[in-house]
Structure 1
Amino acid sequence: MIRHDDLAHCRAAIRTGSLSFHAASRLLPRSVRDPALALYAFCRLADDEVDEGDAKARAVLDLDERLRLAYAGRPRNAPEDRAFAAVAEQFEMPQVLPEALLEGLAWDAEGRVYDDLSGVLSYSARVASAVGAMMCVLMGVRDPHALARACDLGAAMQLTNIARDVGEDARAGRLYLPRGWFVDAGIDPGAFLADPQPTPEVRAMVRRLLREADRLYRRSQAGIAALPRRSRAGIWAARLIYDGIGGAVRRNRYDSITLRGRTSTVAKIGWIGQAGLAAGTSLVMPLSAVIYAPPLPETAFLVDAAARPERVMGPWGEGRGGELVAVFAALKAREGTGGTELRA
C-alpha cells in the first residue's frame, strides 16, 4: 500500500504541476484517485526531468534505473519512487506500459523528429496512451476494446498538447509537428526552428493536428461507458478539459507560436459539471458500436500488454523491442562520450 506521507507528497506535486489532471482526478473514487495521483506524479517527474534538464540522456538512463528498482521491489528512497513501486505491485501493472513511457522520453532525449502523422502518434502512444492504459489497470479494466479507447484518449490529449505548444517547443529546438507537413508546405523545418512564425501554412498544420485530436476524442467517448461507473465522471472531465485547451487554440486562430491557448478556472468548473452529466447519461445509454473499432496501429502493443495480466511480471526488459534496446544503447554511448543530441 502507498504510504500516507508519500501520497501527500504526490498530491501536492500534482496540485502545483498539473492543474488539469488535478481537477479531473477529484471526480475519481478514492480507490482509483490515490494510486492515479501516485502514478501521475512519477510520470510527471520523469517528463519534467527530461524536458527541463540539461543532461537529457543521463535523465532517461537514470529513470530506467529507477524503474528497474521499483519493479525489483527496491525503489529509490524518494516519495514518487516508493509510491510508484507500491502501485505497480498492488495492481500488477504490466511493465511494458511504463517501459513505453520511458521509450517516448528516450525519443525526446535523442531529439527525434517525425516524418508523418503516424510517427507523431507513435510518440503520443508512448508518452500519453501508455498512461491511459495504466489508468485502466488501476480501475481493474482489462477489456481490449475499453483499453483501445483509453489509448485513443491519451493520444488525443498529447496531440492537443503539441498543437498548443508549437512555439514553445520550437524555441527550445523541438519539433513535434510532422516534418513531412513542412516539406509539403515548402517550409524548411530547420528554418522554422530558427525563426518560428505563425504563418498561414503553420496555422493550417496546427488545425490539421487538432482535427485528428477531435477524431480521437470522439472515438474515446465510446470507451468511457465501459469503465466502472464511479470512474466515468473523472475520465469525462479529463476529456473535456483537454479538449478545451484545443478550443483555446482555435480561438487564437491556430496561432500557438505568439499566443498560448489557456483555459480558466471557471471553464474547468463548467467542464467538470458537464462531466457529471455525461457520466450520468452513460448509465442509461447503450454502448456505442464505436467501442469495437480496432486500436490505432501505433497503440496496439499497449492494448495487448494491458489486456494480458499473465505478462505483468518477468525479467526487467523482457519483451523490449530491438528499437528500444538500440535507443538505450545510443543514449548510453552518447552519455559515455559526451556527444551532442541525436536526431533520427
Structure 2
Amino acid sequence: MAARSRPDPADVAACRRLLQAGSRSFFAASLLLPASVREPATVLYAFCRVADDAVDLSPNSATAIARLHARLDGIFAGTPDEDPVDRALAIVVRVHDLPRSVFDALIEGLAWDVGGRTYETFSDLIAYCARVAGTVGTLMTLLMGRRDPRVLARACDLGVAMQLTNIARDVGEDARAGRIYLPLDWMAEAGLSPAAFLADPRFDRRIAGLVERLLAEADRLYRRSQSGIGALPGGCRPAIHAARLIYQEIGILLAARGYDSIAQRSVVPQGRKLALVGRALLDAGFASGPTRQKALAEVQFLIDAVRPEGGEGLMADQGLDRLMDIFERLAREPGSARTGRVLRPRRGRTRASRLTATA
C-alpha cells in the first residue's frame, strides 16, 4: 500500500479541535495561511500543545519527558501511538522531512522549564529561547517549503524575538510563580537580588531598565527577521508578518506603561490585532530576501539539522480572496486577552507553551 501523503482528515480534525479549545490565537492566525500549509501547521502545533501539557500536568516531569521521547521514536519510525496527533505528525514529518533533533531540542526546552533552570547570561537565555521558540520557527519554515539556511536563520530570529517579548511581558507573573528568566548577570549589574525579587516582586526603575533592555534585543531580532518573510511563499507571508507585528505591539504597550510588567499584563486589544492583520496583508507583498547576517550562534545547531534537499513542503501561493471571511472570523474570536496556555499560565505552567497561546 502506498504511503499516505496527507494525514487522515479525522486526525487533522482532532488536532484542530485541540487548538480551538486551548490555542485559539494560533487557530485564528492559521486562517491566514494557505490550506496546504495550514493543515500540517495545525498538526505541528497540536503536538507542541500536547507535549507542553504532558510535562506541565504530570506529577513526574522526568517520566513525562521520557514518554515524549518514546512517542517521537514511534512517530519517526512510522509506527506512532494510536493517538490522532501522533498519527498525523508521523505523516507530516515524513512528507516534509522534518528533523528529529529539532523536536528533541523542543523537549529539552520543556525539561529546562520544569527543572527550574535559570540563565546566567543573555546568551544562556537565547539558548533557552532557541529550544522553545527557534525550534517552532524552524519547523514552520520547513512546512512552508523553505530550507535555505539564511531563511531558517531569520525564522529563528523571529521565534527568539517573540519569546523574549513573552519574557519581558511576564516578569511579574513568572516571579509570582517562583521563576526568573531575566539574565542573572543583568540583575546583578542593576543591583537586584534574584532571591529578594522572588520573595517580593515589585516594580522599580531597575526592573524597568531590564525590561527595556530585553525588548531592545527583541526589536533588533524583529528587524532582522523581516527580510526573511519576503523569502517565504507569498501566500504564507501575511500570517507570519501579522504574528511579528502583533508581538512587537506588546513591546510598544509595555514601553507606553513605563516598562511595568509587574502590576499588569500587557495585552494587544482585539481591534488593534485586526488593524495589524490588515497592515500585514497590505505589506506582505514585499519581495526582500533574507540578509546574509549570520545566524545567532545559539540557534546554529537547528539550522545545521536541516537537510538542504528533500521534503515536499513547497506549497503553491494562494490568493487573498478569503480576506473578508478571515476578518469576520477573527472579529468573532472571543476578546479574552489570553486563551489557553501559551498565555498567562496558571502557576507552574511552563513558559514554552506560551507561544501557542494568545498575544
TM-score w.r.t. length of structure 2: 0.81
Change (3 A) 1:260 1:286: closer
CA 1:165–1:286: 2 relative to 1, 3 Å: closer
1:35 Cα deviation after fit: 0.3
Q: Which residue of 1 aligns with 2:237?
A: 232
Question: What is the alpha-carbon root mean square deviation over aligned residues?
Answer: 1.8
Q: Paired residue for 1:304?
A: 304
Q: Determine the structure 1 residue equivalent to 2:263.
A: 258
Change in 2 beyond 3 A, CA 1:104/1:235: same
Shift of 1:52: 4.6
User: In the alignment, residue 133 of structure 2 is paired with which amino acid?
Assistant: A
Residues 248 and 83 of structure 1: is their aligned pair in 2 closer, same or farther, counting only changes over 3 Å? farther
The DSSP-based 3-state class of the residue aligned with 1:292 is coil
Alignment partner of 2:135 out of 130, 134, 138:
130
Match among 19, 24, 29 for residue 24 of structure 1: 29
Whole-angstrom distance in 2 between the partners of 1:87 and 1:76: 15
Q: 1:12 Cα shift?
A: 2.3
- Residue in 1 aligned with 2:160? 155
| Equivalent of 1:178 in 178, 183, 191 | 183
Q: Among the aligned pairs, what percent are the same residue?
A: 51
Who is 2:41 aligned against?
36
Moved more, 15-24 or 103-112: 15-24
Distance in 2, matches of 1:183 and 1:107, equals: 22
Partner Cα separation in structure 1 for residue 306 and residue 99 of structure 2: 6
Pairing partner for 1:119 from 124, 127, 131: 124
Q: CA deviation at 1:110?
A: 1.8
Distance in 2 between residues matched to 1:57 and 1:248, nearest whole Å: 38
Q: Are 1:292 and 2:264 matched, yes or no?
A: no
SS in 2 for 1:92: coil
Task: List alignment gaps of at least 5 residues for structure 1.
Answer: 312-344
Q: CA deviation at 1:19?
A: 3.5
TM-score, normalised via structure 1 length:
0.84
2:171 match: 166
Task: Tell me, yes or no, if the aligned pair for 1:233 and 1:276 is still in contact at 8 Å.
Answer: yes
What's the counterpart of residue 201 of structure 1?
A: 206
Residue type of the partner of 1:94?
P
Give secondary structure in 1 for the equivalent of 2:298: coil
Q: Which of 244, 254, 268 is the aligned partner of 1:249?
A: 254
Shift, 1:39, TM fit: 0.1
SS at match of 1:293: coil
Contact 2:43 2:88 in 1 (8 A): yes
**Which of 44, 61, 64 matches 2:66?**
61
| Distance 1:260-1:107 versus aligned 2 partners, 3 A rule | same
Q: How many positions carry a matched residue from both structures?
A: 306
Q: How does 1:66-81 map to 2 (within 5 A)?
A: 66-81=71-86
**177-186 or 8-17, which moves further after superposition?**
8-17
- Give the CA deviation at 1:15: 2.7
1:342 is matched with none
Match of 2:12 among 7, 13, 16: 7
* Equivalent position of 2:324 in the other structure: none
Q: Relative to 1, partners in 2 of residues 1:134 and 1:83: Cα closer, same or farther, differing over 3 Å? A: same
Q: Could you list the runs of 4 or more consecutive aligned residues of structure 1 that deviate by over 6 angstroms after TM superposition?
A: none
Q: Distance in 2 between matches of 1:49 and 1:199?
A: 36
Give, as a single letter, the amino acid of the residue that structure 2 aligns with 1:299: V
Unaligned runs of 5+ in 2: 1-5, 312-359
The code of the aligned residue for 1:239 comes to R
* Cα distance change of structure 1 residues 301 and 228 upon mapping to structure 2, 3 Å threshold: same
Between the aligned partners of 2:20 and 2:86, the Cα distance in structure 1 is 18
